């Protein structure tokens, strides 16, 4: 899971940086030299990976929270029903 | 029923709001392995410090330790730095003048964003591990291993989402992301204030005064932002009168304030994370928002950066050359060197005013509200961003509507 959480962001960064653009620059109306199909494909992959990463983060968090909850709950030790103890106890009552 | 010709506009609006909604959801996904209860407790203590302000600008992403906690600030810092490089390095400056060069320029800005985000994410991730025992549920090494790329990716993702809005939606995507982050924190602030009023902790008269300060700041900012210095122009080739060269009163825009804020936040961030270092603690104490030290440092930094950035925003040499090329001149001023000197004098006055204006709105409103015990952060720079983005968005929306109407008229006349 940890490798997935490390690799997925790196892949997403790479994919985003591959998409050459000039948007965000003020006063520019020049468009990116990418074909619409390639662009759409890259956009879809990024969105898919982001959703996948979101799911991974969610499940990883849930797993870790479960571990914390388990650690916080102290094990309750139930006294074992020792037959010897029981017998001695009943003997004691009888006496 | 929506008319057919408005469909492209509706699509653009849907893309814009859809992406902004997606961004907001991203702020609710925390970094794996972080104890959120302890983080929330830490940020509750840091409410009125630089961290609280940074958290507001990130839309709560920092206090939730989301993977988009770094926000869009590394991209803004990278853009400002690239503008500065373009101003001082002619080779980089030349890139902006042609189509292919512009793509390279933007690509360099994106690489610089990754570099800045990487440095910041190392600081933040390492800082989280030093915040105290129990903050990290998992072991430190593996936390650093995945949280650093994830934080960098958060910023790159926001940059990309901003680009998608600019390309396929309406308005400037990056500005809209900052706007969403700020606006989304307001309902919480209002609820908090109402609660305090109901509890009797906050006097209704003080709330009225706080509202008055907020309204007065907003009106003042709108008034200045709409203001321009109009220099009359005369054309040699025609008899047209009434032409003028408009120069914005706030020449340097919001950038000096953002840059100053980013610079101040560096020692404060380190000071908060590394509490053992006494010199950093001292800086942290001085630079608490609302204090005198913070206000003086902020004011001076903004004032200095305004002078720096105004030269980039308004290039006197280029404007003088353009006036010459278009055959226009300022009545009473000789073209060429005299016009250049005249424009320099005007821009210097405007820059001084711009610096005082930005420095004042960045410090005074919050200083007053802090004294009044306002339960939420309200700063002039935050209002300035909201005002500018709102005006920009409305202008673009009306332009789109007008273009669609013109197209409709063209089609009707053609039929």
Listed in sequence order, the DSSP H helices in B329-379 are 337-372
Fold of B1-184: Preprotein translocase SecY subunit (1.10.3370)
Is the CB of A9 less than 8 angstroms away from the CB of B33? no
pLDDT value of position A89: 47
Residues of chain A below pLDDT 50: 24-32, 89, 92-93, 95
- Exposure of A6 by Cβ count < 10 A (0-12 exposed, 13-18 middle, 19+ buried)? middle
Q: Is residue A83 domain-resident?
A: no
Domain ranges for chain B: 1-184, 185-378
Is the CB of B145 less than 8 angstroms away from the CB of A2? yes
Q: Give the CB-side neighbour count of residue B331, counting CA atoms within 13 A.
A: 10
Phi and psi at A73, nearest 5°, equal -80, 115
Q: Tens of pLDDT along B280-315?
A: 667 777 777 667 888 898 899 999 989 888 888 888
Contacts of A48 in chain B (CB under 8 A): none
DSSP B251: T
Pick the CATH number of B185-378 from 3.90.120.10, 3.40.50.620, 2.60.40.10, 1.10.3370.10: 1.10.3370.10
pLDDT value of position B344: 92
Is the CB of A17 less than 8 angstroms away from the CB of B137? no
Helix (H, G, I), strand (E, B) or coil at B275: coil
Q: Tell me which residue of A87, A20, A28, A41 sits closest to B111, measured CA to CA.
A: A20
Separation of alpha carbons B262 and B118, rounded Å: 16
The predicted complex's ipTM stands at 0.73
- Spell out the residues 6+ positions from residue B61 whose beta carbon is closer than 8 angstroms to its own: B26, B27, B55, B68, B69, B71, B181
Domain that holds residue A37: 2-22+32-72
Is the CB of A17 less than 8 angstroms away from the CB of B138? no
pLDDT value of position A27: 41
Q: Is residue A81 domain-resident?
A: no
Q: Tens of pLDDT along B48-68?
A: 666 667 777 777 788 888 899
Partners of B247 in the beta sheet? B229
Q: Tell me which residue of B164, B88, B223 sits closest to A44, measured CA to CA.
A: B164
- Measured over the CA atoms of residue B40, residue B130, residue B272 and residue A6, the dihedral's sign is negative
What is the number of domains present in chain A?
1
Asked if residue B116 lies in contact with residue B110, where contact means CB atoms within 8 angstroms, the answer is no
- Nearest-CB residue to B138 (from A13, A57, A64): A64
Residues of chain B below pLDDT 50: none
B185-378 matches B1-184 in CATH topology: yes
Largest alpha-carbon pair distance within chain B?
Answer: 78
């Amino acid at each position: 899971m940890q490798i997935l959480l490390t690799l997925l962001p790196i892949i997403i960064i790479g994919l985003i940086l591959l998409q050459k653009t000039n948007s965000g620059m003020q006063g520019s109306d020049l468009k990116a030299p990418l074909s619409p199909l390639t662009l759409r494909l890259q956009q879809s992959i990024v969105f898919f990976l982001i959703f996948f990463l979101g799911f991974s983060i969610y499940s990883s968090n849930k797993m870790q929270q479960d571990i914390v909850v388990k650690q916080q709950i102290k094990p309750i030790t139930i006294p074992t029903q020792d037959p010897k103890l029981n017998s001695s106890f009943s003997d004691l009552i009888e006496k | 029923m929506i008319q057919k010709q408005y469909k492209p506009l509706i699509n653009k609006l849907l893309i814009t709001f859809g992406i902004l909604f997606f961004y907001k959801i991203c702020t609710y996904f925390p970094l794996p392995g972080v104890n959120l209860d302890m983080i929330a407790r830490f940020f509750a203590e840091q409410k009125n410090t630089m961290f609280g302000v940074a958290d507001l600008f990130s839309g709560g992403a920092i206090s939730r330790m989301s993977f988009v906690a770094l926000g869009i600030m590394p991209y803004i810092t990278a853009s400002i730095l690239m503008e500065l490089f373009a101003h001082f390095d002619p080779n980089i400056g030349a890139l902006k003048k042609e189509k292919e060069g512009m793509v390279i320029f933007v690509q360099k800005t994106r690489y610089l964003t990754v570099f800045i985000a990487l440095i910041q994410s190392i600081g933040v991730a390492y800082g989280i591990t030093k915040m105290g025992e129990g903050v990290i549920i998992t072991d430190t090494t593996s936390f650093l291993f995945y949280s650093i790329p994830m934080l960098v990716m958060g910023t790159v993702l926001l940059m990309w989402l901003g680009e998608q809005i600019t390309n396929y939606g309406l308005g400037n995507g990056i500005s809209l992301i900052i706007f969403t982050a700020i606006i989304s924190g307001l309902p919480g602030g209002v609820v908090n204030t109402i609660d305090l009023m109901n509890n009797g902790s906050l006097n209704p008269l003080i709330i009225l005064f706080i509202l008055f300060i907020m309204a007065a700041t907003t009106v003042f900012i709108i008034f200045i932002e709409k203001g321009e210095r109009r220099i009359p122009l005369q054309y040699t080739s025609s008899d047209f009168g009434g032409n003028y060269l408009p120069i914005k009163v706030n020449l340097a825009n919001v950038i000096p304030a953002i840059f100053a804020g980013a610079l101040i936040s560096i020692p404060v961030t380190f000071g908060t994370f590394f509490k053992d270092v006494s010199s950093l603690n001292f800086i942290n104490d001085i630079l608490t928002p609302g204090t005198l030290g913070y206000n003086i440092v902020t004011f001076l930094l903004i004032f200095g950066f305004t002078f720096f950035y105004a030269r980039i925003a308004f290039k006197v040499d280029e404007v003088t050359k353009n006036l010459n090329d278009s055959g226009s001149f300022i009545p009473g001023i000789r073209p060429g060197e005299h016009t250049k000197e005249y424009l320099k004098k005007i821009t210097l006055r405007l820059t001084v005013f711009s610096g005082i204006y930005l420095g004042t709105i960045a410090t005074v409103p919050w200083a007053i509200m802090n004294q009044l015990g306002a339960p939420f952060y309200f700063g002039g720079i935050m209002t300035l961003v909201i005002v500018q983005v709102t005006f920009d968005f409305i202008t673009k929306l009306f332009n789109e509507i007008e273009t669609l109407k013109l197209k409709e008229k063209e089609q009707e006349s053609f039929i």
